[in-house]
């Protein structure tokens, strides 16, 4: 298992092509735009070497028996699923942000069971391809980016109906040695500082869309692959200070990018689906359910930090003992723990798939993510309410350092006696950045926009069974 520093050093050996602010970035590892995200991912490596967290962050591979980082593991029990959620909350409590390994983790687990069932049904050999790749990932302790979301173009049209076929990643050539793919993947969390991207289809597909039914493992620095980094709220603050950033070491959210694949060659041993459109929907559903399971863990851990920072600001402001403040903090706690309960529940009710690997309860996984799209916004609103308006109007760190303006800012932004003004400003910046637009948008749209969970909730909830139970209790006979 790699340490955090070894992981960071491994990135220096990559030739990842990255663009940001209109320029190609030569040294992304040490660049202030990317380093916070890299530091956050490094925590997932370092905590695997801390004895206090060994039971959650490490596990023995069911393939090799070797001790591995849990982020490369295939769930072998509902206990594994529960430990995953606990691990995510714990790491989020340390970083206060997205640590990015979850998406690839979920892609690995979805592909393990789907490739097995695909082979059983169709007589293909993708599962062995995948197992061989998984062993490599475990042995090298690689970070994978789960690459599912396509740009989509005209959402009313199927992939094969698009005016531009590249709106969904698709196969453009098949050869004896492998395949060539083209297209792009959007909103790619952690892609900049990953080793591999795990390509998957983004929707269920029909026969006409079989060229789009493709899954494979692609090095992030493969020929034909390049990444365009996305803007984030207050991202330019990383270039000229520390205090204004809020969470200077680990950043906010996950460092997303648009990844372009311009005729990228993939050898057959790294291909896990190629034309088997019948299984695209299953792969999407399993990945999405695994990923939605996460949100009551990581978002609850992030909420723990927001709640703590909000309470500290209440103390700095001298209002912590007010009954309405206590009530708002209590509501924040209630909302956060509700998210956690749902993630634990969908994990505890996980089931074994035909491959032997475990899958979450998909209904409850979708419920937890649906709750996140609402509860996180309310937690952030309450944080703004308690913290006060100055979190949105603070002058810059440079103004505090200015000989003319600094003393006045030091005076007029002070709170209770005995608390340094800088401490109050630092805590305000943490709340501002953790509850800003980027964090809220990711909570709303990460792992699928709200309507996708509502579709899955109605599909998974077995309404007909509920109707039969009600009719039976009411004495209403079933119609034949």
Q: Which of 17, 256, 397, 432 is catalytic?
A: 256
The whole-angstrom separation of Cα 302 and Cα 299 is: 5
Annotated binding site for FAD: 189
| Helix, strand, coil shares, percent, the chain, to 5 | 55, 15, 30
Angstrom CA distances, 467 to 459, 461, 464, 473, 478, stand at: 15, 11, 5, 10, 10
Q: Is 189 a catalytic residue?
A: yes
With a cut of 90, say whether residue 5 has pLDDT above it: yes
Cβ(217)–Cβ(145) under 8 Å?
Answer: no
Q: Tens digit of pLDDT for each residue in 197-218?
A: 999 999 999 999 999 999 999 9
Q: How far is CA 275 from the centre of its chain?
A: 27
Q: Which of 295, 316, 340, 358 is catalytic?
A: 295
pLDDT number for residue 187: 93
Is the four-CA dihedral 382, 385, 391, 392 of positive or negative sign? positive
**Residue 304 placed within a domain:** yes
pLDDT number for residue 451: 66
**Sequential DSSP letters for 201-250:** -SS---GGGGGG-EEEEEETTSTTEEEEEPP-TTGGGGGS-SGGGSSTTT
Which residues contact residue 468 at a Cβ distance below 8 angstroms, ignoring those fewer than 6 apart? 478
Cβ(296)–Cβ(368) under 8 Å?
Answer: yes
Cβ(127)–Cβ(115) under 8 Å?
Answer: yes
Give the residue, 54 or 468, on which the prediction is more confident. 54
Annotated binding site: 189
Mean pLDDT of the chain: 93
Cβ(299)–Cβ(335) under 8 Å?
Answer: no
Average pLDDT over residues 170-187: 97
DSSP SS3 for 432: helix
pLDDT number for residue 445: 47
* Structural domain span for residue 412: 283-465
pLDDT number for residue 442: 57
Q: Is 170 a catalytic residue?
A: no
Q: Is 256 a catalytic residue?
A: yes
Q: Which of 116, 149, 187, 298 is catalytic?
A: 298
Count of the separate structural domains present in the chain: 1
**Residue 438 placed within a domain:** yes
**Residue 333 placed within a domain:** yes
pLDDT number for residue 241: 77
Q: Tens digit of pLDDT for each residue in 274-330?
A: 999 999 999 999 999 999 999 999 999 999 999 999 999 999 999 999 998 999 999
Q: Is 291 a catalytic residue?
A: yes
pLDDT number for residue 441: 46
DSSP SS3 for 273: strand
Which residues contact residue 191 at a Cβ distance below 8 angstroms, ignoring those fewer than 6 apart? 145, 147, 185, 197, 220, 227, 255, 256, 257, 259
Q: What is the DSSP letter of 419?
A: S
**Residue 358 placed within a domain:** yes
**Residue 80 placed within a domain:** no
Is the four-CA dihedral 228, 73, 375, 332 of positive or negative sign? negative
DSSP SS3 for 18: strand
Q: Would you state the structure tokens that stand for residue 249, as one six-digit string?
A: 């070491």
Q: Is 177 a catalytic residue?
A: no
**Residue 400 placed within a domain:** yes
Average pLDDT over residues 22-50: 96
**Residue 449 placed within a domain:** yes
pLDDT number for residue 446: 63
pLDDT number for residue 70: 98
Q: Tens digit of pLDDT for each residue in 409-449?
A: 999 999 999 999 999 999 999 998 888 744 554 555 466 66
Q: Is 340 a catalytic residue?
A: no
The dihedral over CA atoms of 86, 305, 108, 276, expressed in degrees to the nearest 10, equals 120
Q: Is 276 a catalytic residue?
A: no
- Helices assigned H by DSSP within 318-420: 323-348, 362-387, 397-401, 406-412
Q: Tens digit of pLDDT for each residue in 37-78?
A: 999 999 999 999 999 999 999 999 999 999 999 999 999 999
Q: Would you state the structure tokens that stand for residue 231, as one six-digit string?
A: 């803007």
Average pLDDT over residues 373-387: 90
Cβ(199)–Cβ(181) under 8 Å?
Answer: yes
- Reported pTM: 0.90
**Sequential DSSP letters for 19-77:** EETTEEES--TT-TTTHHHHHHHHHHHHGGG-GGGHHHHEEE-TTT--EEEGGG----S
**Residue 91 placed within a domain:** no
Cβ(263)–Cβ(224) under 8 Å?
Answer: yes
The whole-angstrom separation of Cα 257 and Cα 37 is: 12
Q: Would you state the structure tokens that stand for residue 434, as one six-digit string?
A: 């953790």
Angle at the Cα of 406 from the Cα atoms of 401 and 412, rounded to 5 degrees: 140
Residue (of 232, 252, 225) closest to 145 by Cα position? 225
pLDDT number for residue 443: 56
Q: Tens digit of pLDDT for each residue in 286-300?
A: 999 999 999 999 999
> Where do the DSSP E strands lie in 62-213?
67-69, 144-147, 170-174, 178-185, 196-199
CATH number at residue 295: 1.20.140.10
- Proportion of the chain above pLDDT 90, given as a percent: 81
The whole-angstrom separation of Cα 225 and Cα 180 is: 12
Lowest mean pLDDT among 126-135, 287-296, 348-357, 463-472: 463-472
Q: Is 346 a catalytic residue?
A: no
The whole-angstrom separation of Cα 254 and Cα 24 is: 20
């Amino acid at each position: 298992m790699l340490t955090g520093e070894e992981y960071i050093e491994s990135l220096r050996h990559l030739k990842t092509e990255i663009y940001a602010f209109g320029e190609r970035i030569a040294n992304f590892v040490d660049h202030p735009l990317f380093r916070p995200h890299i530091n956050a991912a490094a925590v997932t490596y370092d905590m695997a070497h801390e004895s206090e967290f060994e039971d959650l962050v490490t596990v023995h591979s069911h393939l090799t028996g070797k001790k591995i980082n849990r982020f490369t593991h295939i769930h072998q029990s509902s206990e594994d699923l529960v430990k995953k959620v606990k691990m995510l909350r714990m790491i989020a409590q340390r970083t206060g942000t997205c640590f990015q390994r979850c998406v690839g983790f979920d892609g690995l687990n979805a592909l393990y069971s789907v490739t097995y069932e695909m082979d059983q049904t169709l007589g293909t050999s993708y599962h062995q391809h995948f197992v061989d790749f998984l062993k490599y990932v475990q042995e090298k302790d690689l970070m994978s980016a789960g690459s599912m979301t396509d740009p989509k173009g005209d959402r009313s049209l199927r992939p094969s109906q698009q005016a531009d076929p590249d709106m969904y990643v698709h196969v453009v050539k098949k050869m004896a040695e492998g395949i060539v793919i083209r297209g792009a993947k959007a909103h790619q969390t952690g892609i900049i500082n990953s080793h591999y991207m795990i390509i998957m289809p983004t929707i269920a597909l029909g026969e006409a869309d079989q060229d789009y039914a493709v899954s494979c493992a692609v090095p992030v620095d493969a020929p034909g692959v390049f990444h365009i980094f996305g803007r984030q709220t207050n991202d330019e603050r990383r270039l000229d200070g520390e205090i204004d950033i809020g969470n200077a070491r680990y950043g906010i959210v996950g460092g997303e990018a648009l990844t372009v694949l311009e005729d990228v060659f993939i050898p057959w041993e790294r291909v896990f689906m190629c034309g088997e459109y019948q299984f695209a929907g299953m792969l999407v559903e399993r990945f999405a359910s695994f990923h939605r399971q996460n949100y009551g863990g990581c978002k609850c851990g992030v909420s723990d930090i927001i709640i703590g920072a909000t309470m500290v600001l209440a103390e700095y402001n001298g209002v912590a003992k007010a009954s309405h403040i206590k009530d708002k903090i209590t509501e924040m706690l209630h909302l956060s723990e509700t998210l956690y309960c749902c993630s634990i529940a969908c994990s505890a009710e996980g089931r074994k798939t035909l491959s032997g690997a475990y899958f979450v309860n998909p209904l409850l996984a979708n419920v937890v993510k649906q709750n996140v799209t609402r509860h996180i916004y309310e937690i952030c609103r309450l944080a703004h309410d308690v913290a006060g308006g100055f979190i949105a109007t603070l002058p810059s760190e440079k103004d505090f350092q200015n000989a003319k303006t600094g003393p006045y800012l030091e005076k007029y932004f002070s709170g209770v006696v005995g608390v340094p003004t800088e401490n109050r400003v630092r805590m305000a910046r943490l709340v501002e950045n953790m509850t800003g637009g980027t964090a809220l948008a990711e909570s709303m749209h990460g792992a699928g926009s709200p309507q996708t969970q509502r579709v899955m909730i109605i599909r998974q909830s077995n309404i007909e069974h509920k109707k039969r139970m009600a009719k039976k209790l009411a004495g209403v006979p079933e119609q034949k």
